[in-house]
Amino acid sequence: MQFELERLGIHDSVDAVFPPSELDAFLADLPVTVEVVDDDGIDACDAVVTRDYHEALLECAWIHSIQAGIDRFPLDDLEANDVVLTNSTGIHDRTIGETVAGYLLAFSRRLHEHVANQQQRRWDRPEWDEAFTLPGTTACVVGTGTLGRGVAETLGALGVRVTGVRRSTDPVPGFEEIYATDDVHAAIGEADFVVVTVPLTDDTEGLFDAAAFDAMREDAYFVNVARGAVVDEPALIDALESDAIEGAALDVFETEPLPEESPLWDLEEVIVTPHCGAFTRDYFRDVGGIVRENVDRLEAGEAFHNRVV
């Protein structure tokens, strides 16, 4: 698709992740006008970099999402209106990998307990058999895309055996064994840690339900850095409260922010983080690199990088 790009807007919704002014300054040398815009300013733009979807974006020629997930965007409407959508797939592998590694290290070295004890000024050591090390454990990563591969690379360096679940059983670098999606319960049943990195689709919505948690080991930990709707949250809470699984680290939830009345806040073996697993001070540079590349590609008449629609 070819169009004349004269004005590139940076929607103020990106402020949930980084200051829009940082991306504005980073892209200031582009051969187009770049400016931060609010909802009312979208109409004046040919292209917009955004976190959130607004109906006014249907009048643009190109939208770039600062996230990898595209479940916020009405793909059929965008296609019907000849709007190009690109996303930020490819920039979150290391950040998500390190976040997941942090969760696993917190559980294995009991760091979350020490932080909680510090808040209470309590000098309380773990029981002799509580702490452990990661080499020799197994993590099953459900989803072997960019996020899953980043998790596998980081955990593998810590001595964790990493298995994966994907649509086919074709081998994937960084994974010692691959299971097909139909065999997900068998795969997670053998793991010390189950890590979810799949995108939210019709097929993955509610993928982790009561049956999935029943398939997990009682001493296993559940980690979700995908989307909240991939998990049946009441089923997860039941599994945690009944000790059907050992614990969970959760960066995403069915309702965000997580409601104050959620039992997840108070469960001892649960780590709650506010959907920030991919955050880094370089986030705006990583996004800006993709935007800059696509501006160059547009000028050269080449295909967009990371085009979704």
Catalytic residue among 256, 261, 292, 293: 256
- DSSP secondary-structure letter at 231? B
DSSP for 94-141? Answer: HHHHHHHHHHHHHHHHTHHHHHHHHHTT---PPPTTT---STT-EEEE
Mean pLDDT of 68-94: 97
pLDDT in tens, 163-172: 999 999 999 9
**Do both 148 and 212 map to the same domain?**
yes
Q: Residue 76 belongs to what domain range?
A: 7-90+281-300
Buried b (16+ CB within 10 A) or exposed e, 94-113: ebbbebbbbbbebbbbbebb
pLDDT in tens, 162-196: 999 999 999 999 999 999 999 999 999 999 999 99
Radius of gyration of the chain (CA): 21
Mean pLDDT of the chain: 97
- State the Cα angle at 262 between 261 and 268, rounded to 5°: 115
**Do both 54 and 156 map to the same domain?**
no
- CB 229 within 8 Å of CB 255: no
Residue 250, helix vs strand vs coil: strand
Residue 249, helix vs strand vs coil: strand
Domains in the chain, number: 2
* pLDDT category of residue 2 using cuts at 50, 70 and 90: confident
**Do both 230 and 286 map to the same domain?**
no
- CB 111 within 8 Å of CB 136: no
**Do both 21 and 47 map to the same domain?**
yes
**Do both 193 and 255 map to the same domain?**
yes
Element (DSSP H or E) covering residue 289: helix 283-300
**Do both 73 and 55 map to the same domain?**
yes
Q: Please report the pLDDT score of residue 158 as a whole number.
A: 98
- Is 92 one of the catalytic residues? no
CATH classification of the domain holding 25: 3.40.50.720
**Do both 295 and 228 map to the same domain?**
no
Q: Please report the pLDDT score of residue 183 as a whole number.
A: 98
- CA separation for the pair 169, 178 (Å, rounded): 5
- Is 269 one of the catalytic residues? no
Sheet holding 161-166, edge to edge: 177-180, 161-166, 138-142, 193-196, 221-224, 247-250, 270-272
- Is 114 one of the catalytic residues? no
Element (DSSP H or E) covering residue 154: helix 146-156
Catalytic residue among 275, 281, 292, 297: 275
The model's pTM is 0.96
**Do both 253 and 287 map to the same domain?**
no
Catalytic residue among 227, 268, 292, 299: 227
Closest C-alpha among 86, 106, 102, 153 to residue 306: 86
- Tell whether 56 is covered by a domain: yes
- Tell whether 44 is covered by a domain: yes
